[in-house]
Amino acid sequence: MEAETKERIAIVGSGLIGRCWAMLFARAGYFVSIYDIDSEQVKGALAATLPMLLDMESRDLLGGQKASDIQKQIQGTNQLEEAMQGAIHVQECVPESVDLKKRVFAQLDEHASDTVVLSSSTSCIVPSLFTEGLKHRSQCIVAHPVNPPYYIPLVELVPAAWTNPDVVRRTRALMADIGQAPVTLNKEVNGFILNRLQYALIMEAWRLVEDGVCSPEDVDTAMVEGLAPRYSFMGIFETMHLNADGMKDYCERYGANIKTVCETQSPARDLSGRTLSVVDDAMQRKVPVSGLGDRRKWRDRRLAALAVHKMMMKKEEAKSINP
Amino acid sequence: MEAETKERIAIVGSGLIGRCWAMLFARAGYFVSIYDIDSEQVKGALAATLPMLLDMESRDLLGGQKASDIQKQIQGTNQLEEAMQGAIHVQECVPESVDLKKRVFAQLDEHASDTVVLSSSTSCIVPSLFTEGLKHRSQCIVAHPVNPPYYIPLVELVPAAWTNPDVVRRTRALMADIGQAPVTLNKEVNGFILNRLQYALIMEAWRLVEDGVCSPEDVDTAMVEGLAPRYSFMGIFETMHLNADGMKDYCERYGANIKTVCETQSPARDLSGRTLSVVDDAMQRKVPVSGLGDRRKWRDRRLAALAVHKMMMKKEEAKSINP
């Protein structure tokens, strides 16, 4: 996250995700051009970045830089060619529709140099579905961020079968350079990594309620007050490794029973019917639909505070290693 | 967590879990008697509680009380009858063996009044396996803590079919009174709640590596930097509720695809073979088996810091509601 000016990045689509990407790249010193078809929307996007950057500055998440300086690194245009001029990386952030992605990537293909990376922010569409016919298809990749990306740094990189491995490496390096946490899929798979893990949890949570084992509230308590705290700083495999004398010992001791339990965790259920009513009632007692907006603000405040907490922990650990 | 002296609690077994329970009950004002068969071990357990209490005091986790005052609420004995004299709740903390639990619960049964709750700390043995033949079997329950329980407050309550519902209610109230976070299973199920969720995650993580989708390290990064932060303060169902216009909208929009993904998440795999080597190699590169002890200390420091962070967040929120 150095302040020197680096290469140019184009952001295609000026909605929330596009704005977030713009700030992340600009914070790391890149010169960012936001493109959208409507120049009023571009103007709105540029105006919206300053309050977001000021909020990050107040939490010491700009690496000592000033929000106003970072904002100067971000410009806007309603000319795609202008946005892509000299860019090393294009990050597409348009709504989730295969047809729309196809149209946008066809346009990107027209203006693409032979070295620029054409990257999509899609959370659920594998890249082969919208890049197959392109001249520059070997330069296409998915780089899926999590919302809000300045507090949740994961970026999932998904290449198509025809994506050049060098494009994958360059994109991973770029994401690490801007302070995000990239992971790489070696092949296309529905749900990528994060949602495959999340869906496995959702389905087991659903079964527990549907089979009358416990209430929806107690499922959520078990996660928040029991399982999740360690996962906020330590992964699934490392947790296993530490809960025995290493991974092999863990699998020898517990592997057979884990398999036995998991054999009862299928088939998948429909997320509907009476169980949906039970779960929905429980959630509406906690947060009525009319209160979702406020609760999302609460969530984002908590995510921000947790990101700061994790950053402080890392700084303390670095200090105790190099005092 | 008031400081007044409340009723008596007996702890059966003076290992780490027994000591933790003793501190939790004493912190909340209960008078605690730790029983173990060997009086030297009892003495060791009593001596070990002070440094643990001092550490909690230094993190402001004793509700303003002094560690030395709380320690005075804890006594020890090698006479089971003496420990159980006048106790409202007995918490068994012996090693995980059905035969051993059977023997210990037979002894508890002998000395039990008609009102005392006989509770086991077991993480994996359903209570019907060691309480069936007992005179006081309707007073038996499992109350499974998570380690370390003063930083991870979840307690899973598992009744047998013959457990009196009033025993479930009283145990839940007691756990809430000492500042833990109880959840109630309505029936016995292998893995209870926490491990059923954990095992669903482990199995999908395993599949991702075994099927060549990504590396073990990237699975862990996806959890730590992507999925888990929100779960450290918000449950599985509430996350769904907030990620759309409520739970019903979420299930309408995403339910079909979630089911499609989950249909590919079976059958269960063996946690062995080549994938075990790949995962074990990755974990040993990160933490060699010789370094597990230090890494566990790191984990517990991080859990402690996170518990303090969560406590501060709750205090701030309470203040902003009642300034």
pLDDT tens across A170-192, in order?
999 999 999 999 999 999 999 99
Cross-chain residue pair A269–B259, CB shorter than 8 Å: yes
Peptide bond into A267 cis (omega under 30): yes
Residue B1's pLDDT is 47
Which residues neighbour B151 within 8 Å (Cβ) at sequence distance 6 or greater?
Answer: A229, B300, B303, B304, B306, B307
Asked whether A31 and A84 are in contact (CB, 8 A), the reply is no
Distance of CA A143 to the CA centre of its chain: 8
pLDDT greater than 70 at residue A36 = yes
Q: What is the pLDDT of residues A209-240, one digit of tens each?
A: 999 999 999 999 999 999 999 999 999 999 99
* Distance of alpha carbon B209 from alpha carbon A236, whole angstroms: 12
Q: For residue B50, what is the enclosing H or E element?
A: helix B39-58
CATH of the domain spanning A194-231+266-286: 1.10.1040.10
Cα–Cα nearest to A23, from A60, A67, A77, A64: A67
Residues of chain A with CATH 1.10.1040.10: 194-231+266-286
- What kind of fold does domain B8-184 have according to CATH? Rossmann fold (3.40.50)
Asked whether A220 and B235 are in contact (CB, 8 A), the reply is yes
- The partner residues of B75 in beta bridges, in order of sequence, read B33
Residue A323's pLDDT is 59
Nearest to A279 among B232, B247, B313 (CB): B247
Residue B3's pLDDT is 47
Q: What is the pLDDT of residues A279-322, one digit of tens each?
A: 999 999 999 999 999 999 999 999 999 999 999 999 998 888 76
- Tens of pLDDT along chain B (323 residues) come to 444 558 999 999 999 999 999 999 999 999 999 999 999 999 999 999 999 999 999 988 898 999 999 999 999 999 999 999 999 999 999 999 999 999 999 999 999 999 999 999 999 999 999 999 999 999 999 999 998 999 999 999 999 999 999 999 999 999 999 999 999 999 999 999 999 999 999 999 999 999 999 999 999 999 999 999 999 999 999 999 999 999 999 999 999 999 999 999 999 999 999 999 999 999 999 999 999 999 999 999 999 999 999 999 999 988 887 65
Q: Which two tokens stand for residue B4?
A: 């007044």
Residues of chain B with CATH 1.10.1040.10: 194-286
Round to the nearest angstrom and report the end-to-end CA distance of chain B. Answer: 22
pTM of the full structure: 0.96
Looking at the predicted complex, does its ipTM rise above 0.90?
yes
Cross-chain residue pair A213–B185, CB shorter than 8 Å: yes
Q: How many residues does chain A have?
A: 323
B314 → chain A, closest CA residue: A302
pLDDT greater than 60 at residue A5 = no
Asked whether A8 and A33 are in contact (CB, 8 A), the reply is yes
- Mean pLDDT over residues A152-170, rounded? 98
Cross-chain residue pair B262–A199, CB shorter than 8 Å: yes
Peptide bond into A216 cis (omega under 30): no
Residues of chain B with CATH 3.40.50.720: 8-184
CATH of the domain spanning B194-286: 1.10.1040.10
- In degrees and rounded to multiples of 5, residue B46 shows phi and psi of -60, -40
* Distance of alpha carbon B41 from alpha carbon B32, whole angstroms: 16
* Distance of alpha carbon B320 from alpha carbon B162, whole angstroms: 45
Nearest to B221 among A183, A186, A307 (CB): A183
- CA B26-B31-B37 angle, to 5 degrees, is 95
Q: List CB contacts (< 8 A) between B208 and chain A.
A: 193, 196
* Distance of alpha carbon A155 from alpha carbon B225, whole angstroms: 9
Q: What is the DSSP string of B63-109?
A: TT--HHHHHTTEEEES-HHHHHTTEEEEEE---S-HHHHHHHHHHHH
Residue A1's pLDDT is 47
Question: For residues A199-232, b (16+ Cβ closer than 10 Å) or e, as one string?
Answer: bbbbbbbbbbbbeebbbbbbbbbbbbbbbbbbbb
